[in-house]
A and B are shown apart, each in its own frame.
Chain A
Amino acid sequence: MQKSDHITRMENQEFIPLQIKANREGFVLLPEEAASFQAVFAYLKNRLEHSRDFFRHTKMVLDLRFRVFSIEEIQSIDSLLKESCGAGLVEIKLKEGFSLFTERRERIIVPPPASKDVEGVPLIVRQTCRSGARIVSQSDCLVLGDVNPGAEVIAYGDVVVFGSLRGLAHAGAAGNRHAKIWALSMEPNQLRIADMVAVPPRGSKPVPKRYEVALVRGESIEVVTV
């Protein structure tokens, strides 16, 4: 019960670690720049418990433009929402212009980029992308780990995997055929660059741990060792 002590203390000091704002589809969660994750988590938990019906099954956007959370912290917020009132994170705003979508969606919904060229800081994922995960970046996407079969990494720019790419990668998702997919080891389910799709030949056994890059040459996607 230390957590609730924490909350009362925070409230006494009138410091609210998290703003919850309503938007068209649900709510936006906006953590304060100076707030600790524990304070944000405890505050949110308390609010959800007190107004469970109010938040029930709503769609939440987590706005991390000012206060950065780790992937683990984001995941624990997401499970808190799910468990306490069946709500879920549908979008995580990381920087102006790029977002990470947590839910599996029927089709790719990426807001159009601000300019024709891909700009901004790449999205960095510091963990294994497991089956069922879907990561969308409006810039480049860097994965520091493997992309497992059944996981999808989608980027407007390049996709770079510092590990084995065994799932699906889509580079140049907004239509840029010059985008590339890089991986330490290329064993994908499928590769997509812009509007093109490539499926690896069946039964081919890839040699693990080389540096490889997939790019468009002429009218097809080719994988070359670098």
Chain B
Amino acid sequence: MAGRTIVVTSGKGGVGKTTTVANIGTALAKKKHSVVLIDGDIGLRNLDVVMGLENRIVYNLVDIIEGRCRKEQAMIRDRKLGNLCIIPAAQTRDKDSVQPEQMKRLCEELAEEFDYVFIDCPAGIEQGFKNAVAGAQLAIVVTTPEVSAIRDADRVIGLLEASMLRDVHLIVNRLNDRMVKKGDMMSTEDIVALLAIPLLGIVPESEDVVVSTNRGVPLVHDRSSRAGAAFQGIAARLNGEDVPVHNGRELGFRDFFRKLFTGQ
């Protein structure tokens, strides 16, 4: 059975697409699925850095598409998980070196071999976006609770719908509970009401993310991280497991024990 191809996109840059791809991909690989992550951000690659694999790059996405290598040669295996690999973007080429049809074909081929194919989409709605969404059956739109990010997410959802991609899900990243309570931040409910697509999960604002990015080890390996737990919940839901989106946040291990002992 062919695997699922999933694009992670946002419109606005810096909202957490790459972080999301790295963490959901790793979480699914930990569940013993075979997973490949494609860095679609040609010219600004960084998925390899987040995964801690940048030193191993020999070939890249454009090399595969232009036939300079076989796709297996460009795939870099994860350091911990044998069933997880990434295809890095080309750093020295521009987005126009790839056409949507070529991406579509590559994604189809990869879906024959892997359970999950993730595409990390560049910011914007131009060529790079079109390439990244061309081969996807499902889209995850990431936004932060900021008006500008939400506006771009809305635009992107409209474009996805227009390109016949109907299976679109939302992740709200960098939610700060305290700010929402004070009324300084839009709540998840408001965001979902506006964007009107199903909510896949909420990831809290967390310093863990920065630490994990700098170490090149995805957060889902860290059992104590709340943000890591959030990404695990998202991966489980994507995988069809019945894990509820906790009201406003996911339960980390510490919360779980606190809940166990205090009964709250």
Contacts and interface: CB of A to CB of B under 8 A. Distances in A.
Interface of A: 72, 75-76, 78-79, 83, 127-128, 130-133, 145-146, 148-150, 164, 166
Given A131-B151, A146-B194, A76 B164 contact: yes
A130 B163 contact: no
A41 B66 CA distance: 31
Interface stretch (B27-35, B51-59, B154-162): B154-162
B252 interface: no
B124 interface: no
A78 B194 contact: no
B164 A130 contact: no
Contact of A166 (B157, B163, B194): B194
B2 interface: no
A133 B155 CA distance: 8
B164 A148 contact: no
Which has the most chain A C-beta neighbours within 10 Å: B147, B158, B196?
Answer: B158
Given A128-B196, A130-B157, A166-B194, A149 B162 contact: no
B164 A75 contact: yes
Contact of A83 (B100, B152, B157): B100
Given A76-B162, A79-B163, 9 more contacts: A72-B161, A75-B163, A79-B164, A128-B196, A130-B158, A130-B161, A150-B151, A150-B155, A164-B193
A116 to B, nearest CB: 35
A172 B155 CA distance: 26
Which 5 pairs across A and B sit closest by C-beta, in order of nearness? A130-B158, A131-B155, A75-B162, A131-B154, A132-B155
Contacts of B154: 130-131, 148-150
Interface residues of B, number: 17
16 contacts: A72-B161, A72-B164, A75-B163, A76-B162, A78-B162, A79-B162, A130-B155, A130-B158, A131-B152, A132-B155, A145-B196, A146-B194, A146-B196, A149-B151, A150-B151, A164-B193
B172 to A, nearest CB: 16
A130 B150 CA distance: 11
Contacts of A127: 161
A220 to B, nearest CB: 27
Q: Specify the main secondary structure of chain A where it touches its partner.
A: loop
A130 B153 CA distance: 10
A130 B157 CA distance: 8
Q: Specify the main secondary structure of chain B where it touches its partner.
A: helix
A75 B161 CA distance: 8
Contacts of A79: 162-164
Nearest to B164: A76
Nearest to A149: B151
Contacts of B152: 131
Contacts of B196: 128, 145-146
A206 to B, nearest CB: 12
Contacts of B158: 130-133
Nearest to A130: B158
A150 B151 CA distance: 7
A164 B190 CA distance: 12
Contacts of A130: 154-155, 157-158, 161
Nearest to B153: A131
Interface string B159-190: 10111100000000000000000000000000
Contacts of A149: 147, 151, 154
Which has the most chain A C-beta neighbours within 10 Å: B100, B147, B164?
Answer: B164
A80 to B, nearest CB: 9
Contacts of B162: 75-76, 78-79
Contacts of B157: 130
Contacts of B161: 72, 75, 127, 130
Nearest to A79: B163
A185 to B, nearest CB: 10
A91 B193 CA distance: 30
Nearest to B150: A149
Interface string B126-138: 0000100000000
